[in-house]
Amino acid sequence: MEINKVEINKAEKTKKGTEILLSLVNALKSDLGPDLKEIEVKDVRIGLAYTGVLLQENYGGVACTPLYEFSGCPALGFSGFLKGKTADKMLELALSENPLEAAVGIATANALSHMLRDIKPENFLPSNIDILDLIKPEDRVAMIGYFGPLVPKILKITNKLIILEKREIESPKTLTLSSEKAREVLPASDVIILSASTLANRTFDELISLRGTAREVVLLGPSAPLYPAPFFERGITAVMGTQIIDPMTMLTIVSEAGGTKKLHKHCGEKIAFRKQINQK
């Protein structure tokens, strides 16, 4: 009976859009093993733009704070009880139905991925490829989530860019549609740029299922866990995130509502992982 309960619980989680997160959590647990229960969480900050987690040994990770998912006050009951918890407990939050809790779990996964890169660097070989290198003039590009600075750069390569966004974008520079149009847009796209914020809001699994025959599907943004294998298995061709190189400064920036530009300028650097042709 116990086995059946476990299977039922797994089924419930995967029904709610946590397939990729369950794969990520299980992969990190497998790689870190019993050590995961010994890793202490030193600090957690939930800012207006990003959520930051600091682990022992000075490893930090961030995830987008999904405040727009709430219609009321998003205050959390676990406030005041996160610092000092072990990483295995924090990682489990990635599977939470609450988007803010999920963001804390994803930020923890990001910090753990930094730690694993130091332990097993041969399993996390970065690529120097830029997202613009993946786009051709004839490509139809779909961007899920509005990456403002990237838009004019893409438009210099191709004018066939469609943005899918939940929020209303002020003065968009190209065609912007509601994210509900994904079923119409994504299957006809050659390149899909998928915001890593789709992990916390549980839309990743549905969106990746709509990729059709897209040549490139890129997971982009500081929220992207730098553990590419589970994402490559799901159809992602490149993971482009942010490695936190100064975790203490990251905590300050997160607390002061800093965004992506501040992270890259003061405490992080862009890092990419490219799926090889022979990888499944």
pLDDT digits 0-9 by tens, 108-118? 999 999 999 99
Would strands 216-220 and 161-165 be described as parallel, antiparallel, or unpaired? unpaired
What backbone phi and psi angles, to 5 degrees, belong to 54?
A: -115, 125
Tell me, what's the pLDDT at 176?
84
Query: Which of 140, 180, 152 is CA-nearest to residue 164?
Result: 180
Please indicate, yes or no, if residue 221 is contained in any of the structural domains.
Answer: yes
pLDDT at 253 over 60: yes
Task: Give the contacts of 198 (CB within 8 A, at least 6 positions apart).
Answer: 144, 145, 204, 207
Check whether residue 118 and residue 138 sit in a common domain: no
Enclosing domain of residue 40: 2-123
State the burial class of residue 76 (Cβ atoms within 10 Å of its Cβ: 0-12, 13-18, 19+).
middle
pLDDT of residue 79 exceeding 70: no
Q: Is 221 helix (H, G, I), strand (E, B) or coil?
A: coil
107 and 205 belong to one structural domain:
no
Mean pLDDT over each residue of the chain, to the nearest integer: 88
Report pLDDT digits (tens) over 147-157.
989 999 999 99
Asked if residue 249 is part of any domain, the answer here is: no
Q: Are residues 96 and 119 in the same domain?
A: yes
| Per-residue pLDDT at 278 | 61
On whether both 136 and 99 belong to a single domain, the answer is no
Q: What is the pTM of this model?
A: 0.88
Q: How confident is the model at residue 36 (pLDDT cuts 50, 70, 90)?
A: very high
